Amino acid sequence: MSGGVDYVWDNGLPLTFTHWDKDQKHLLTPVFLHSFPSFRPAGWMRFKDKCFMFKGKKDDIKANWSHARSWCRDQGGELAIIDNQYENGNYLKDLELPTWIGLSDLLVENHSYMWTDGWPVFFTQWGPGEPSNVQDEGCVSMHASIWFHGTWNDTKCDLAKPYICKISSAVFSS
């Protein structure tokens, strides 16, 4: 400690060597930074400010949309909420089968689509002719097929599919 200030690197490690010129360290105004740990629980992958987990891949148990949503909530998260094309593309790299995301028209009476966390929809990646709402399709999955890879499809909510959960990384930092 020097002059009431502890000098540390931005990763939190203490500064162990200095070679200040006479009175040079006092020319700077100390900046106090708050950094968040880059914690990620086992099985979760990090992308920007979110952590996500794929369930139902290959031989893993799949779920209908409601069960998938409940499982994600039990983990402290939601089914994946996709804010932009970069997030959509990030999920694609691990997609093997049509996979539930956190979008449906079940939460609003007029059958408008809304994310499971209550946020309105600002970004979409609908496939051609979607949403079609054929035979009461109201839950959204992301395509994994070679022709429509990454596009979204409204489908029946009672079908068992893989799903993507997301948790804000701030949950793990607090």
- Residue 12: pLDDT over 60: no
pLDDT of residue 81: 93
Q: What is the pLDDT of residues 88-107, one digit of tens each?
A: 887 777 788 899 999 999 88
Q: Is residue 80 part of a domain?
A: yes
Instruction: Compute the average pLDDT of residues 45-50.
Output: 82
User: What gap in Å lies between CA 12 and CA 41, rounded to an integer?
Assistant: 21
| Coil, strand or helix at 21 | coil
Query: pLDDT tens digit string along 120-144?
Result: 899 999 999 999 988 889 999 998 8
Tell me which residue range forms the domain holding 104. Answer: 45-173
Confirm if 47 and 169 have CB atoms less than 8 A apart.
Answer: no
- Tally the domains of the chain: 1
Average of pLDDT values for 17-26?
A: 62
What is the pLDDT confidence band of residue 39, given thresholds at 50, 70 and 90?
low
In a domain, 72, yes or no: yes
CATH number at residue 146: 3.10.100.10
Segment 42-46 shows an average pLDDT of 80
Q: What is the pLDDT of residue 147?
A: 80
94-124 as b/e, with b when 16 or more CB fall inside 10 Å?
Answer: ebeebbbbbbbbbeeeeeebbbbeeeeeeee
Specify if 14 maps to a domain. no
- Is the model's pLDDT at 119 over the cut of 60? yes
Q: Does 75 map to a domain?
A: yes
* Domain assignment present for 99: yes
**Does the bond joining 37 to the residue before it have cis omega, within 30 degrees of 0?**
no
Higher pLDDT, 130 or 38: 130
Q: Is residue 84, in this structure, part of any structural domain at all?
A: yes
Mean pLDDT of the chain: 80
Band of the pLDDT at 17, cuts 50, 70, 90? low
pLDDT digits (tens, 9 = 90+) for 52-96: 898 987 778 899 999 999 999 999 999 999 999 988 887 777 788
In a domain, 6, yes or no: no
Domain membership flag for residue 107 = yes
